[in-house]
């Protein structure tokens, strides 16, 4: 019998984190500075366990490798390609950049990191750092070497419901007062460029920067990629396509009542960001609260959702299949 895979989040303490994950979703967070909840992850730095059905107690990575048919996975040796997480930016994150597949593979044996942000909540006046002003590599290197962040960095005001596509090579950071659902390649490679002169809580030393790697991988000049969004209204649900890209496709589902869906991808990843819903698969009903992540594997061909909820949903793009 086909069934969804319900997952247990993995939490990460961060110098910039807070308590929003507990306040918003009643998660049992490990500290008052919990910055991330990896809600769908097969990455070694955040091994998630499945909590229901046949595969309960197994990690997503184990199921991916041992049961490739559940994902129409033609290459079980490669890692699970996507990662979904919540980020609670109680303070500014470090300004950073991620490498592409080629650079990350050569230097770290990992995938690159293209990502996207859906702004779940934002305090009044909240901003992100998104891109930079340098027009040439020489100008970029000079501004980084001089530490002229005011001149280099580009700030963008944000509000709940905004969406940003952040390809590898994009200089970026979440600003204080933002709470985000991130869909990304399954990679944990980050090059810090500027960290507001913060010190490690345990060692007292300034946190490490990675300026040479950052100079090597940052796209210059910055050309923002903000895909046009398409909204379709169906019985019981409004579906907005936020991005269709090489590594992932991201959608927002606004559920209002009862809606029926068909599997059109190898598998579907979903997280409820607001409200609650019941999920019906193969005659079995699953109760889903806000914050709950789940996967609809390849053998789930149709399903029904009922309730009042907002979900961020993703499927693998061509480069992740």
Active site residues: 192
172 in a labelled binding site: yes
SS3 108: helix
The answer to whether the beta carbons of residues 61 and 80 sit under 8 Å apart is yes
Give the chain's length: 321
Report the candidate in 261, 304, 286 with the shortest Cα–Cα distance to residue 53: 286
H/E stretch holding 3 reads none
289 in a labelled binding site: no
CB burial of 234-265 (b: ≥16 within 10 Å; e: otherwise) equals eebbebbebbebebbbbbbbbbeeebebebeb
Quote the CA–CA distance of 195 and 258 in Å, as a whole number. Answer: 46
Quote the CA–CA distance of 76 and 180 in Å, as a whole number. Answer: 30
SS3 61: helix
The answer to whether the beta carbons of residues 42 and 10 sit under 8 Å apart is no
SS3 48: coil
Q: Is the peptide bond before 221 cis (omega within 30 degrees of 0)?
A: yes
Quote the CA–CA distance of 140 and 131 in Å, as a whole number. Answer: 11
69 in a labelled binding site: no
Q: Which residues are annotated as a binding site?
A: 98, 115, 172
User: Annotated binding site for Zn(2+), which residues?
Assistant: 98, 115, 172
């Amino acid at each position: 019998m086909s069934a969804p895979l319900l997952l247990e989040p993995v939490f990460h303490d961060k110098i910039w984190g807070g308590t929003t994950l507990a306040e918003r979703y009643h998660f049992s967070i490990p500290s008052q500075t919990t910055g991330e909840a990896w809600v769908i992850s097969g990455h070694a730095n955040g091994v998630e366990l499945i909590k229901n059905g046949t595969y309960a107690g197994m990690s997503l990575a184990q199921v991916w490798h041992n049961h490739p048919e559940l994902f129409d996975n033609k290459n079980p040796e490669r890692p699970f390609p996507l990662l979904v997480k919540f980020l609670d930016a109680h303070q500014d994150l470090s300004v950073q950049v991620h490498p592409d597949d080629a650079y990350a593979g050569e230097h770290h044996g990992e995938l690159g990191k293209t990502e996207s942000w859906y702004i779940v909540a934002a305090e009044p006046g909240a901003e992100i750092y998104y891109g930079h002003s340098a027009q040439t590599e020489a100008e970029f290197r000079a501004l980084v070497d001089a530490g002229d962040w005011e001149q280099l960095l580009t700030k963008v005001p944000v509000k709940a419901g905004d969406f940003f596509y952040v390809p590898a090579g994009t200089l970026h950071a979440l600003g204080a007062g933002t709470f985000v659902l991130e869909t990304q390649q399954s990679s944990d490679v980050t090059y810090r460029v500027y960290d507001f002169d913060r010190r490690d809580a345990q060692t007292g030393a300034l946190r490490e920067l990675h300026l040479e790697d950052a100079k090597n991988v940052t796209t210059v000049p910055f050309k923002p990629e903000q895909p046009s969004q398409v909204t379709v209204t169906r019985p019981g649900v409004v579906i907005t396509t936020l991005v269709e890209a090489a590594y992932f496709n991201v959608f927002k589902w606004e559920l209002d009542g009862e809606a029926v869906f068909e599997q059109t991808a190898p598998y579907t990843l979903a997280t409820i960001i607001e409200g609650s819903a019941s999920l019906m698969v193969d005659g079995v009903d699953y109760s889903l609260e806000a914050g709950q992540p789940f996967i609809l594997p390849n053998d789930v061909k149709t399903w029904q959702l009922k309730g009042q909820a907002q979900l961020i949903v993703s499927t693998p793009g061509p480069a992740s299949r």
